[in-house]
Structure 1
Amino acid sequence: MNDRPAILYIDDEEANLLLFRVSFEGERDVLVASTPEEGLRKLDENRARIKAVISDMHMPQMNGVQFIQKAQEKNNDIPYFILSGYAFNDEIDQALRQKTIKKFFTKPFDRKEIEDSLKSTNGS
């Protein structure tokens, strides 16, 4: 079993998953999931290794904030972030104010901004 720190990225678009993995894999592993359900499963299976979770906001089964709220029921000790191509909205604002998420990133993403946020929240 691999013991390297990992981040989990959830997005329903395969091209975004590939781009994120290629951009961030290096000193950590990047685990990806194409559905919120798969993301929850991977989070459970890799709980000890995952240091941060980044989720797309708009997905078919549930949105990113809903996914994170569900994930936090079992895994509330890691930082969660939203990455979206859509505009900042009231639901994201509320999630930030309630500290459900640490930060909101926009697509196309700024790799350095995400890296800096991961390091400052101990997301490896």
Structure 2
Amino acid sequence: MSEKPAILYIDDEEANLLLFKIAFEGSRDVLVANSPEEGLRTLEENRNRIRAVISDMHMPKMNGVQFIEKAQEQINDIPYFILSGYAFNDEIDQALKENKIQKFFTKPFDRSEIEHHLNGAA
């Protein structure tokens, strides 16, 4: 197992998972999950390595904010972010105000913007 710090990205679209992994893997491990449920399992299994979590907003069964609320029940001392192709909305705004998420990123993502925030976290 690698000793590099890891980030976790959750998205229900396989192409997005692949693009994210290619864009960000290097100095850190990029763990990916294609559902919120898989994301929660991956988070639990790698809790000592994961330094940040980024989630898509629109997914089946639970959205990104709901996923993050559940994930924070497991680990609440790392930063969480939302990455979405959809517009900023009231639920995301509320999550930011309540410090559930640190930042909202839009798709297509700006690698340098996300990297800037991850460097402070991972």
TM above 0.5, one fold?
Answer: yes
- Equivalent residue, structure 2, for 1:58: 58
> How far apart are 1:52 and its partner, in Å?
0.2
Once the two structures are superposed, the pairs formed by residues 14-53 of structure 1 within 5 Å of their partners are 14-53=14-53
The corresponding residue for 1:116 is 116
- Please tell me whether residue 95 in structure 1 is matched to residue 95 in structure 2: yes
Instruction: Calculate the aligned-residue CA RMSD, in Å.
Output: 0.6
- Which residue is equivalent to 1:71? 71
Q: In percent, how many aligned pairs have the same letter?
A: 76
Superposed CA deviations along residues 14-60 of structure 1, whole A, max 9, x for unmatched, are 00000000000000000000000000000000001000000000000
Query: Which amino acid counterpart does residue 5 of structure 1 have in structure 2?
Result: P
Return 5+ residue gaps in structure 2 as ranges: none
Dislocated runs of 4+, deviation >3 Å: none
Count of matched residue positions in the alignment of Structure 1 and Structure 2: 122
Q: TM-score, normalised by structure 2?
A: 0.98
For the residues of structure 2 that align with 1:3 and 1:76, how far apart are their CA atoms? 21
